[in-house]
Structure 1
Amino acid sequence: MKRLALTPKKWLLALHLLFAGIMLGVTVVFLVLSIAAANTDSGDILKACYNGMHILAESSVRASTIGTVVTGILLSVLTHWGLFKYYWLIAKELLTVLSIGLGVVGMYEWSLKAVTIVTAEGLGAWQNPTFAVNNGQLVTGIVLQIASLAAMFVLSVFKPWGPRKARSVAN
């Protein structure tokens, strides 16, 4: 397959970094909103925090995840890196699968359930065991998402472990 010239490669890399930055930024906003929700004594603020998370889950999380995955695949396929040539890339791909599950699926579902319960119960939601479990899952998902995204950034910068060894074919 033909490789990208330097200028298109730089544009594609810039797009990839933009989408990845949005993805990390939105996840940090989720963390801030979850901290605000846990520390409020206002039902309206509690509802606004979870509504904000859900709106982000429906929009920015999905768009940035799709953008990051598409540009990442294109960078792998259209440059010398390849999809499976390097251990650090394989690690990033596995972390990407985790991020898709946490971001696109998890944060959407957890924030939707939280909005539903908080809309019905207000501050009383904190006494609801279903809400407590859901909130724990959401916070755990947020922390894991930040950790996995940070790990992907570090892997991209340091590129540890080098290339995979070529397999010899026995005759």
Structure 2
Amino acid sequence: MAYRLNLRKKNLLVSIHVLSIVAWFGGAMCMFMLGLYMKNAKNGEQLYYILSDMHLIDATLIRYPALVVFISGVLLSVWTQWGLVKYYWIVIKLVLTTLIIIFGIMFLGDWLSFLLETAHHYGFTALQKHDFQTTSLSLILASAMNILAMTIMTCVTYFKPFGKIKKSAKST
């Protein structure tokens, strides 16, 4: 029989999971709001500091909490009666979490670095550059998509839609 968590350990792991998702969600909200606010910067220094704050939020409130959410979610699935691929709602959460993390690794860090370097080099006039505008819009939309995906995952957690995944009939 597979390892199962006792109630105390399960509650501790659930607490870690929930606190991590709250940090991740809060980080995504901050990124979204700062991304919108960036357009209102009054000078190059303010623009640079907004982007520096976004970079710090990405490094502290998004990357590590996302990793903890992923790991704790997998452990909760495997070490409880839910299983990792027994229910559609768990698979949906696993796929969404994985996609968000992969998207972040592939794009968000590079986008933020580009914006930060451009603001450092061009100052306030960076806001007028087409590449800066499209990259900042991409970052804002990605933050909105993160928020939407986490909202969907939260709803999926509580409503547990689609039920159990049915095993296919074995051919003999």
Name the CA distance, whole Å, in 2 between partners of 1:49 and 1:98: 27
Corresponding residue number in structure 1 for 2:10? 9
The residue that corresponds to 1:139 in the other structure is 140
Letter in structure 1 aligned against 2:146:
Q
Alpha-carbon shift at residue 104 of structure 1 (Å): 4.0
In the aligned structure 1, how far is the partner of 2:166 from the partner of 2:160?
Answer: 16
8 Å contact 2:36–2:140 — kept in the other structure?
no
Residue by residue over 1:46-81, the C-alpha shift from the partner in whole angstroms, topping out at 9 and shown as x without a partner, is 111111111222232111011111100100110011
CA RMSD of aligned residues (A): 1.2
Structure 1: gaps (5+ residues): none
SS at 1:160 equivalent: coil
Deviates more, 1:21-30 or 1:42-51: 42-51
Q: 1:147 offset after TM fit, Å?
A: 0.5
Q: How many Å separate the matches in 2 of 1:105 and 1:75?
A: 27
| Alignment correspondent of 1:84 | 85
Identity of matched residues, %: 27
TM-score (norm 2): 0.94
Deviations 1:11-38 (A, max 9, x none): 1001000000000001111112112111
Q: What is the letter of the counterpart of residue 107 of structure 1?
A: L
Structure 1 residue 106, shift from structure 2 partner: 2.9
Q: Give the aligned partner of residue 28 of structure 2.
A: 27
Whether contact under 8 Å (1:83, 1:90) holds in the other structure is yes
The amino acid of 2:84's aligned partner reads: L
Residue identity matched to 1:130: D
| Counterpart in the other structure of 2:60 | 59
CA distance in 2, matches of 1:23, 1:104: 15
The aligned amino acid for 1:17 is V
Residue of structure 1 in register with 2:129 after alignment: 128
> Are 1:106 and 2:99 an aligned pair?
no
| CA positional deviation for 1:93 | 1.1
Which of 1 and 2 has higher RCO (CA within 8 Å, sep 6+)? 2
How far apart are the structure 2 equivalents of 1:96 and 1:107? Answer: 15
Structure 1 residue ranges, 4+ long, deviating more than 6 angstroms after superposition: none
How far apart are residue 41 of structure 1 and its match?
2.1
Q: Is the CA contact (8 Å cut-off) linking 1:57 and 1:103 kept in structure 2?
A: no
Deviation at 1:167, TM superposition (A): 1.5
Question: What SS class does the counterpart of residue 59 from structure 1 fall into?
Answer: helix
